[in-house]
Amino acid sequence: MRSFLDRLAQLAVVFGALCLTVMTAIITYQVVARYVFNSSPAWSERLSLVLLAYLVFFGAAAGVRLGFHICITAIRDAMPGPVASVFISATHILVAAAGLVILLAGFQLTTTLWEFAIPSLGIPRGLALLPLPVCGGMIILFSIANLIGLGPEEQAEAA
Amino acid sequence: MELIVLFLSLLGLLAIGVPVAFALLISSMIVFALLGLNPLIAVQRLSAGIDVFTLMAIPFFIFAGDLMTQTGIAARLIKVAEGVFGRIRGGLGHVDIGASMMFGAVSGSAIASVSAIGSTMIPIMEERGYDRAFSVNVTSAAAILGLIIPPSHNMIIYAAASGISISIGDLFVAGILPGLLCAAVLMVTVSIIAAKKGYPKGSFPGLGVLFVSAISALPGLMTAVIIVVGILGGVFTPTESSAVAIVYTLIIGVVVYRSLGVPQFKAAVINSAKTTSMIMLIIGSAAAFGWLLALLEAPRMLSDLILGLTNSPILIIAMVLVCLLLLGTFMDMAPLIIIVTPIFLPVMQAIGMDPVHFGIIMMLALGIGLITPPVGTVLFVASAVGKIRMEDTVRSMWPFYLALLLSLLLVAYIPQISLLLVK
């Protein structure tokens, strides 16, 4: 289970990295097209923004597993052991709750906007919002895993 | 009432260790529910807060900076700085500052700066008899320069958060003199400490060596020139310039420096994807939080409060500086820029301050927040790189806080320092 979750998080980051690479290529192409071919593509900025959403939300979900989100641990660290572990559990529950709202809202936004097309791309607007529910689902999964002691290895040792 | 709940829940969430992005989002959701609004709107604001073309420059700047770091540019910049500043008393302290300043121009990230410059400079300094705490102090204070020396992605966040049209090119140019000023003030501080502690002078490597190291660092430093000149000349938008900077760095790294291979590229792109998603999620959540603040009329209330207390620009600037410094001590830079810009900018405009000038003030004030406890990301990283406890770093840090505070006051009260180079 642990290695599955680790792999899922790493996969999400690699997917994000891929999006970043493609975004770079698209915007560079936009500059080249303007100066070399004298025409700016209409789709480039919009498509990069869609990719940015995938990069951010997939990466953000992975961050819950890989622990790279910035948080303030000074107060928690100063607390006696039992209090600190209550804080840690509360954090996982709250992050899971936020994940649930992201999942529900994202699902609603994606389905509502599915029938509308993004004009410059011709793809459903919902496709740009799809990362939201996926991210929400992954956040819930990773937070619950953290809560029930299936967190990443280092964390299990520390606890 | 709702405002109080918003801030108290945010503080409570941060205190128990909820990540900043989620704390902003959850406290917004709570108040959305309290106001009878659908909390799903918070998610909609989050998504809309990221869906901004100008902000796409942020992942690109981060990626360009990570790639540049992977080429090993830090070592080249340190060589140049050593040639220029090495022979002054406390030479390595000056080298650290000079190298951080140049690194700021190629990466724009204070955290990248402490880890890249610090990991090389701190061991060398210790070896030559400098206190380790002193080395960590200099490195973290100098890392702030990267936020002011152009290009700086935080300035893009500021421009996007301002809600008015502020030229990113102007902001970049406005950062040059304040950046040099801070570097000079920090160098004076290093000289004083070095004289007191009897830190050694280095030797001058000779003009030839300096020339060679400068030539070898030049292609890297050109990135900053391409970005700034490209934006100012109207050749690229800031987002395009940052994408071009990535391609340029790739070419330099592969063809000229020959230090960028597939493993380095992989490390850079993975690291950038992580940093980007972390920062952009914070920006999106801060956008939802800021949207609520605007809905609850917090900006108007605060500006009424401040302008009701006094109409002296000097005092108003002082009050805003204190607020920025205090907020900066316990919050990270990106969310603060998004949240406080719409609150303070109207006040500053009301007393006739140029928005570009205020942007520079904000970068410096919040930058100082990055090296102050309890939440000082740059301080954490610098202490970790120097393998020293944060408390020990902070104990000897005060001369550098004073130096940066002095620079902040000069920059805040003498608008020309920022605006002289702007058309």
- Residue among A55, A144, B15, B47 at smallest CA distance from B23: B15
Q: What is the mean pLDDT of residues A88-108?
A: 94
Confidence at residue B298, expressed as pLDDT on a 0 to 100 scale? 85
> Is B390 at the interface with chain A, CB within 8 A?
no
Question: A27 vs B18: CB contact, 8 Å cut-off?
Answer: no
Q: What is the mean pLDDT of residues B332-349?
A: 90
Please list, in sequence order, all residues whose beta carbon lies within 8 angstroms of the beta carbon of residue B124, skipping any fewer than 6 positions away: B92
Distance, in Å, from the CA atom of B124 to the CA atom of B99, rounded to the nearest integer, reads 14
Is the pLDDT confidence value at A156 over 50? no
Query: Are A124 and A117 spatial neighbours (Cβ–Cβ below 8 Å)?
Result: yes
Confidence at residue A157, expressed as pLDDT on a 0 to 100 scale? 38
Per the prediction, chain B carries an average pLDDT of 89
CA distance B277 to chain A (A): 4
Whether omega before B373 lies within 30 degrees of 0, making that bond cis, reads: no
Residue labelled with tokens 């393998």: B387
* Residue B60 identity: F
Residue B120 pLDDT level (bands cut at 50, 70, 90): confident
Query: Are B272 and A20 spatial neighbours (Cβ–Cβ below 8 Å)?
Result: yes
Picking from A45, A88, A104, the nearest residue to B17 by CB comes out as A88
- ipTM reported for the complex, 2 dp: 0.93
Per the prediction, chain A carries an average pLDDT of 89
Q: What is the mean pLDDT of residues A98-125?
A: 89
Q: What is the DSSP code (8-state) at residue A39?
A: -
Query: Are B12 and A91 spatial neighbours (Cβ–Cβ below 8 Å)?
Result: no
Query: Are B97 and B135 spatial neighbours (Cβ–Cβ below 8 Å)?
Result: no
Q: Among B277, B333, B390, which would you mutate to test the A interface (most chain A Cβ atoms within 10 Å of its Cβ)?
A: B277
> Is A11 at the interface with chain B, CB within 8 A?
no
Q: What H or E segment, with its residue span, contains residue B212?
A: helix B207-232
Residue B141 pLDDT level (bands cut at 50, 70, 90): very high
Q: What is the mean pLDDT of residues B160-183?
A: 92
Residues in B closer than 8 angstroms to A98, CB to CB, are 22, 25-26, 29
> Is A69 at the interface with chain B, CB within 8 A?
yes
Is the pLDDT confidence value at B134 over 60? yes
Concatenated DSSP letters for A15-38? HHHHHHHHHHHHHHHHHHHHHHSS
Q: Among A101, A113, A140, which would you mutate to test the B interface (most chain B Cβ atoms within 10 Å of its Cβ)?
A: A101
Residues in A closer than 8 angstroms to B27, CB to CB, are none
Question: B270 vs A73: CB contact, 8 Å cut-off?
Answer: no
Is the pLDDT confidence value at B65 over 90? no
First to last CA, chain B: 45
Residue labelled with tokens 């025409």: A39
Distance, in Å, from the CA atom of A128 to the CA atom of A114, rounded to the nearest integer, reads 9
What is the chain A residue with the closest CA to B273? A17
CA distance A151 to chain B (A): 16
Is the pLDDT confidence value at B270 over 90? yes
Residues in A closer than 8 angstroms to B280, CB to CB, are 52, 55-56, 60
Confidence at residue B107, expressed as pLDDT on a 0 to 100 scale? 79
Which token pair is B38?
Answer: 């659908």
Helix axes B298-309, B262-295, angle to 10 degrees: 70
Q: What is the mean pLDDT of residues A113-118?
A: 86
Please list, in sequence order, all residues whose beta carbon lies within 8 angstroms of the beta carbon of residue A15, skipping any fewer than 6 positions away: A54, A58
Question: A101 vs B21: CB contact, 8 Å cut-off?
Answer: no
Q: What is the mean pLDDT of residues B160-180?
A: 91
What count of other Cβ atoms lies within 10 Å of the Cβ of residue B260?
22
Confidence at residue A99, expressed as pLDDT on a 0 to 100 scale? 95
Query: Are B67 and B109 spatial neighbours (Cβ–Cβ below 8 Å)?
Result: no
Residues in A closer than 8 angstroms to B332, CB to CB, are 70
Confidence at residue A96, expressed as pLDDT on a 0 to 100 scale? 96
Confidence at residue A154, expressed as pLDDT on a 0 to 100 scale? 57
Is the pLDDT confidence value at B91 over 90? no
Residues in B closer than 8 angstroms to A87, CB to CB, are 16-17
| Collapsed DSSP state (helix, strand, coil) of residue B376 | coil
Residue labelled with tokens 């920006």: B283
Query: Are B42 and B29 spatial neighbours (Cβ–Cβ below 8 Å)?
Result: yes
pLDDT more than 70, % of chain B: 100
Query: Are B202 and B87 spatial neighbours (Cβ–Cβ below 8 Å)?
Result: yes
Residue B221 or B273, more confident = B273
Q: What is the mean pLDDT of residues B146-163?
A: 89
CA distance A1 to chain B (A): 23
Give pLDDT tens digits for A30-45. Answer: 999 999 888 888 899 9
